[in-house]
Amino acid sequence: MKGILLIFLLVSVSCFVIFLISITSPESRWVVRIPVCNETVIGDNSGRTVLPYRYPFHHHHHQYYYKKTNISHILFGIGGSSKTWKERRHYSQLWWKPNITRGFVWLDEKPDEHNESWPKNLPPYRVSEDTSRFNYTNLYGSRSAIRMARIVLESYRLGLENVRWFVMGDDDTVFFTENLVTVLSKYDHNQMYYIGGNSESVEQDMVHSYGMAYGGGGFAISYPLVTELVKVLDGCIDRYSDLYGSDERIGACLNEIGVPLTRELGFHQIDIRGDPYGLLAAHPVAPLVSLHHLDYVKPIFPTSTQMDSLKLLVSAYKTDPSRTLQQSFCHDLKRKWSVSVSWGYTTQIYPSLLTAKELGTAMLTFQTWGSWSHDPFLFNTRDMSPEPCEQPLIYFLDRVDEIGDNETMTSYKRHHVDNAARLLLAQAGME
């Protein structure tokens, strides 16, 4: 991280102070081995925190004898319905690339717009086959789960060429396709792979399964495995008529074949309620692949709508996909400050020295999906201190600029919203 300059603007009631932070190698004498922030005080009142970053020229992946996986090797199957598509199609517009991405949104019937020209910036639609012949005995779910589970089968039967991976998602899933390609490139598509993530809420994993990929967060199945899956899927659907969702059925059928879930931390079901800030600000060291359930949480940027928030995040992502939401931190030993950066999203400045373990643990700004409880989650969380002197100064992404060859400049700005109070209210479940 040598040579990376971080410029932070601190705003207080009576004065404006800007300090320049250079992240150096972790050669601190302090007991916690975290990079030290060496700073130079300069004068300015721009109101922004600025983070220059030079991103690498090369990315290293496992090399096989075949051509490297790219976006054309992926076939997306998006589960939707004609009733919800009009409201949710904006999520697909964020990531769908006409003439580049391949796939379809699968609907239960023809949409109202079918007689009109279908927008080119959306995935083309197909109408799913009738599933009335299948049994569905779950008492609280929806029969649409059967139709959704068969999307992978109907996609396979299209017989499209050069497909290595079938990627399933919902009509409110936002995919980060460059990072998806990066993740799938790690695996040999000629082998049987089932790749995705669990629910964040333990109560969901206990009810459904720890061994399945949650469909809203998206999952990928390699072509050879889909070839085997389609042979047994319809019979399997009837055998598991009591299960709730489509993803649960897929997981159960793949378990019969004997292929376990390969977990990747960048797939996000977002099975939480409240404010997702703490979760996103402490994103694991893994490429951001997907976000889901964004209608059920507060906007990720506090002064914007959720859609505008996502557009801002995507604008940062497009300049440097692999670095989006990646967390890094350092210490200013002289001032006894801790600085945490979730690239392209937020910056936190703590007026105390926190350990790496603390900084890497998500602040509890959210609740569980079903019971709206403060725990348990599939990862560690930490409470935010009610003491003002222990709370971080929080900055949110303002803009990203490309300032030269392979360089970006990210600017972060404090809002008029009292961020600390907002987080405390979210933590208490009162907001």
Rounded to the nearest integer, the mean pLDDT of the chain is: 85
User: Is pLDDT of 222 > 60?
Assistant: yes
- Looking up tokens 């096989």 gives 64
- Over residues 293-302, the mean pLDDT reads 95
Residue 43: inside a domain, yes or no? no
At what angle are helices 85-95 and 306-319 packed, to 10 degrees?
Answer: 20
User: Is pLDDT of 198 > 90?
Assistant: yes
Residue 202: inside a domain, yes or no? yes
Measured CA to CA in angstroms, residue 323 lies from 14, 286, 344 at distances of 35, 9, 8
Number of domains observed in the structure of the chain: 1
Residue 129: inside a domain, yes or no? yes
Angle at 191 (CA atoms; ends 70, 177), nearest 5 degrees: 25
CB-CB neighbours of 71 under 10 Å: 15
Q: Which two tokens stand for residue 257?
A: 């074949």
Which of 206-224 are b and which e, b meaning 16 or more Cβ less than 10 Å from the residue's Cβ? eebbeebbbbbbbbbbbbb
Domain that holds residue 113: 71-263
- Res 406: pLDDT: 81
- Res 373: pLDDT: 83
- Helix residue ranges per DSSP H, 240-350: 246-257, 277-281, 306-319
Three-class DSSP category at 379: coil
Residue 4: inside a domain, yes or no? no
DSSP string across 78-96: EE--TTTHHHHHHHHHHH-
312 confidence band (pLDDT: 50, 70, 90) = very high
Residue 89: inside a domain, yes or no? yes
- Looking up tokens 């931190």 gives 329
- Res 14: pLDDT: 32
Three-class DSSP category at 106: strand
387 confidence band (pLDDT: 50, 70, 90) = confident
- pTM to 2 decimals? 0.84
When mean pLDDT is compared across 17-26, 131-140, 303-312, 383-392, the lowest value belongs to 17-26
Chain mean position to CA 370: 20
Query: Residue 289 burial by CB count (10 A; 0-12/13-18/19+): exposed, middle or buried?
Result: buried
Instruction: Kindly report the CATH number assigned to the domain that includes residue 143.
Output: 3.90.550.50
Three-class DSSP category at 224: helix
Strand partners, 220: 167, 195
User: Is pLDDT of 230 > 80?
Assistant: yes
User: Is pLDDT of 403 > 80?
Assistant: yes
Residue 17: inside a domain, yes or no? no
- Res 371: pLDDT: 84
The set of residues, in sequence order, having a beta carbon less than 8 Å from that of 284 and lying 6+ positions away, is 265, 266, 379
φ/ψ of residue 190, rounded to 5: -80, -10
When mean pLDDT is compared across 65-69, 138-142, 366-370, 397-401, the lowest value belongs to 65-69
- Res 16: pLDDT: 30
The set of residues, in sequence order, having a beta carbon less than 8 Å from that of 155 and lying 6+ positions away, is 75, 77, 103, 104, 166
User: Is pLDDT of 91 > 90?
Assistant: yes
pLDDT tens-place string over residues 235-277: 999 999 999 999 999 999 999 999 999 999 999 999 999 999 9
Residue 78: inside a domain, yes or no? yes
Residue 218: inside a domain, yes or no? yes
- Over residues 286-303, the mean pLDDT reads 96
The helix or strand, by DSSP H or E, that contains position 409, with its residue range, turns out to be strand 407-413
pLDDT tens-place string over residues 76-89: 999 999 999 999 99
DSSP string across 289-318: -EE--GGGB--SSTTS-HHHHHHHHHHHHH
